[in-house]
Amino acid sequence: MQEKEGGQLENTEGGGQGPGGDVAGATRVAAVRLRPGLPPDHFDAGALDLRDGEWVVVETPHGPEVGQTVGRVVSLPLDASLPQVVRIASTEEIKSYGANLEREKKAWRICQELIDNHGLEMKLVRVESFFDGSKIIFYYSADGRVDFRELVKDLVKALHTRIEMRQIGIRHEAKMVGGIGSCGRAICCAGFMKNFAPVSIKMAKVQNLPLNPNKISGLCGRLLCCITYEYQAYADGTMAAWAKEAAEAARIQAEALADEPVFPGLDSGGEEPAEGGGGQSGERQARREGPGQGSGRTEKKGGRRRSGRRRRPQKAKQKGGNGSAAKGQGGKQSNKSRRGKRKRDEQGNGRKQ
């Protein structure tokens, strides 16, 4: 590190880095979205210091276009060259970008009305207008060939610009429209794919996938594009080798777990709690049962063996001769005989207890 004029520090070490800490010789790649809702395209940022959400002018096959950066610039060692980011867009160019989007919406409405008026069997998918307004491209899908010569004449009269009608297949239609796949994520073709690779049912068989069309078909009705991602690993046996290694690692781990004790405290000879309420569990058991309960012990009191449980007092049985009414008195007793009977009963109960 050396000190420059004004107190600033200059990094004189690590000569392999470019401006902003980028690796020398690598391409500074910026992702730029040209239309709302479409996947971003990648461009060479050059020496421009671009931030996330920056409006820039980029070079495309049909001329300059305005777009917005997505994320930060990343340095990558690339062999192929990328289109260049020309400059940061001005305020007027950003306004022209918004006006161009409104022009595309207007062209869509006009074209859809003319298609209905002419009774053409075609489906309008997307409309793209060049940034300078010199040309408008209409993307459509149809089962067969469509005679749209009269439609083009009416579009030229209404929009006063060059018109191009471009027919696309069902896979490209899904790419432009977008959607959510069976995996719960945005479909690959609308997210990051640029070109479509050929997919066959043989690829699904090699990967042991179910041959149910509902499970291996995408939103477009064709075979899933993701079937090609791991096909080569299954075809050359790489996936089988990985599965064998994973099974062997799982077996070794299972054997190691089987040798470990399930309860280390008991297997190491630890003392077990004494019976009869040892420890906290024994105290809780004693409190729950109460004094003299659950232990089976008895106490001697007054020369008589007495158990821990309380007995209910039994009612004294009355003898047939005590206090019985004298026959021949009409079932009536005097107060004196009644008091004598109660006294004798109380004395008899005391002897029994």
Strands 135-141 and 162-167: parallel
Q: Which residues constitute the domain of residue 21?
A: 15-89
In tens, the pLDDT along 287-311 reads 555 554 544 444 444 445 555 555 6
pLDDT of residue 126: 93
In tens, the pLDDT along 68-78 reads 999 999 998 88
For the chain, the average pLDDT equals 78
Same domain, 211 and 242: yes
How many domains does the chain fold into? Answer: 3
Q: Please indicate, yes or no, whether the overall pTM of this predicted structure exceeds 0.85.
A: no
Q: How far apart are CA 139 and CA 168, in angstroms?
A: 7
Same domain, 150 and 200: no
Residues in the chain: 353
Of the candidates 189, 167, 165, the one whose C-alpha atom is nearest the C-alpha of residue 177 is 189
Same domain, 80 and 20: yes
Is residue 299 domain-resident?
A: no
First to last CA, the chain: 110
Q: How much of the chain exceeds pLDDT 70, in percent? A: 69
CB atoms within 10 A of CB 204: 19
Is residue 40 domain-resident?
A: yes
